[in-house]
Amino acid sequence: MAKHRIYSMSVASVYPHYVTKAEKKGRTKAEVDEIIRWLTGHSQASLEDELAKKTSFEDFFAQAPHMNPARSLITGTVCGVRVEEVEEPLMREIRYLDKLIDELAKGRPMEKILRA
């Protein structure tokens, strides 16, 4: 089976769309970064480094310092697909990120987005 094209896309190519989506709804780039850091265990410096290196989604998640175990609490739909039912592990991680950004754009409080 061929790999999905999102896997080879750089996180940096999609990141501005995450920020724009959040900012259109009155949220901030800092909140987008906080979500990504919570999910992956990156520091702000290491996140910025990965964006600068144009790391692919596949490598970004494979090399994440510490994927948050609470990410399994993320449920709901993204593009009509239930994130908790996505079988392919890498696609599930990407969908988790999409879902968290959606929640941010919908005005959900950060403590709920980060499953605090």
Task: Answer yes or no: is 94 within a domain.
Answer: yes
Confirm if 11 and 39 have CB atoms less than 8 A apart: no
Task: Answer yes or no: is 116 within a domain.
Answer: no
Q: Where are the beta strands (DSSP E) in the chain?
A: 77-78, 81-82
CB count in 10 Å sphere of residue 99? 21
Whether pLDDT at 101 is above 90: yes
* Structure tokens given for 69: 């175990």
Task: Answer yes or no: is 102 within a domain.
Answer: yes
- Total domains present in the chain: 1
Per-residue confidence (pLDDT) for residue 79, from 0 to 100: 86
Per-residue confidence (pLDDT) for residue 2, from 0 to 100: 67
CATH at 66: 1.10.8.290
Question: How far, in Å, CA of 17 to CA of 68, rounded?
Answer: 23
Confirm if 6 and 75 have CB atoms less than 8 A apart: no
> Average pLDDT, stretch 57-62?
97
Task: Answer yes or no: is 90 within a domain.
Answer: yes
Per-residue confidence (pLDDT) for residue 116, from 0 to 100: 84
Task: Answer yes or no: is 113 within a domain.
Answer: no
Element at 19 (helix H, strand E): helix 11-24
- The whole-chain average pLDDT of the chain stands at 95
Give the tens place of pLDDT for each residue, 63-98: 999 999 999 999 999 989 999 999 999 999 999 999
Of the pLDDT bands very low, low, confident and very high (cuts 50, 70, 90), residue 3 is confident
* Structure tokens given for 75: 């449920």
Q: Which domain holds residue 88?
A: 5-108
Question: 0.85 cut: is pTM over it?
Answer: yes
